[in-house]
Amino acid sequence: MKKTSTRLADGRELIYYDLGDDRVRDAVDRRPLEPTVTSSQIRRDPLLGDAVAIASHRQGRTYHPPADQCPLCPTRDGDRLSEIPDSTYDVVVFENRFPSLAGDSGRCEVVCFTSDHDTSFAALGEEQVRLVLEAWTDRTAELSHLPAVQQVFCFENRGAEIGVTLQHPHGQIYAYPFVTPRTALMLRSLAAHREASGGENLFDAVLDRELADERVVLTGEHWVAFVPYAAHWPYEVHLYPRRRVPDLLALDEAARTEFPQIYLELLKRFDRIFGADEPPTPYIAAWHQAPFGQLTDFEGVGRDDFALHLELFTIRRTSGKLKFLAGSESGMSVFINDVPPERAAERLREVASS
């Protein structure tokens, strides 16, 4: 992998990740951009303790542009200028022009998985997926060193139903200046289980339980994918490395090598859940990593107790129908799942590649 860092016309950082060591990236951003102005601030809900990002500047972000005006495609034909100055790329990461978090409030980056506008992550080759994994890992390392950052979150939103406004295959990375509420819940459960069990790791216990049950979807030598016992979403899969590690940086070479084939198979199965006549399955794919720094609010728990894992889920519950977060989910955070996890796992095994 070759990494080349440059700056866009408004001062934002852009990084090329190339498969070949001989690639030269010296194209200049020729757009007449003014410096990016953001108004992000973090407010704390006094009753729930949640952090809420207020980012009014995002109202003007790019919204469903036509394909020939996609800002994530490479610059082409001399005057078709985009966020990527070069005429081609393998993987690119750049600072979001309309970030939810900025400055002392964190950082937001866009990850372009490929220069091909009309493909999807599931259609990438294994070598390309490995390059994306290396980009996620490198950005996690770099962002973790920023003074304000406590947690790094790599994710992909796919499909208009999810709320995606740019159709080019891409994901995002959020660097939060706090431990997110969902991670804090996991850490509290981890601490409570450790205390109640006399030192057992909850993530290890969950993985052992799932391996012994009927919800396993796919296994490799280094990775395990399963539908969780209490799945929130109609079709939800958690992907764990068999060897517990706190973050992407700690994955060994064997796990990195196997990841592309395991993950691509999962994504292909997601697209087959509802049949060949259905449009591509909308999903969210989210990496959960241990926060950086001391976990002083979670007694007895350290970074190495956390288990890196990826959560992949869709909001489509059946053909042509979506799972909406209505009264119970939105009002009380109590999910109601219409698809039994055991049936979801069975279906995901049925649609395996031949």
Tell me which residues are annotated as active site: 170
Q: Which residues contact 330 (CB under 8 A, 6 or more apart)?
A: none
Structure tokens at 244: 């517990």
Q: How far, in Å, CA of 169 to CA of 257, rounded? A: 22
Contact 286, 320 (CB under 8 A): no
Q: Give the phi and the psi of residue 132 in degrees, each rounded to 5.
A: -60, -45
User: Can you tell me whether residue 269 is helix, strand or coil?
Assistant: helix
User: Can you tell me whether residue 245 is helix, strand or coil?
Assistant: coil
Q: Which residues contact 184 (CB under 8 A, 6 or more apart)?
A: 297, 298
Q: Which residues contact 122 (CB under 8 A, 6 or more apart)?
A: 264, 267, 268, 270, 271
Q: How far, in Å, CA of 244 to CA of 304, rounded? A: 8
Contact 292, 306 (CB under 8 A): no
How many angstroms separate the Cα of 224 from the Cα of each of 215, 241, 278?
Answer: 11, 6, 27
Q: How far, in Å, CA of 344 to CA of 342, rounded? A: 5
Alpha helices in 145-213 (DSSP H): 181-197, 202-211
From the list 150, 149, 156, the residue with the least C-alpha distance to 172 is 156
Q: How far, in Å, CA of 43 to CA of 25, rounded? A: 40
Q: How far, in Å, CA of 344 to CA of 259, rounded? A: 22
Contact 156, 285 (CB under 8 A): yes
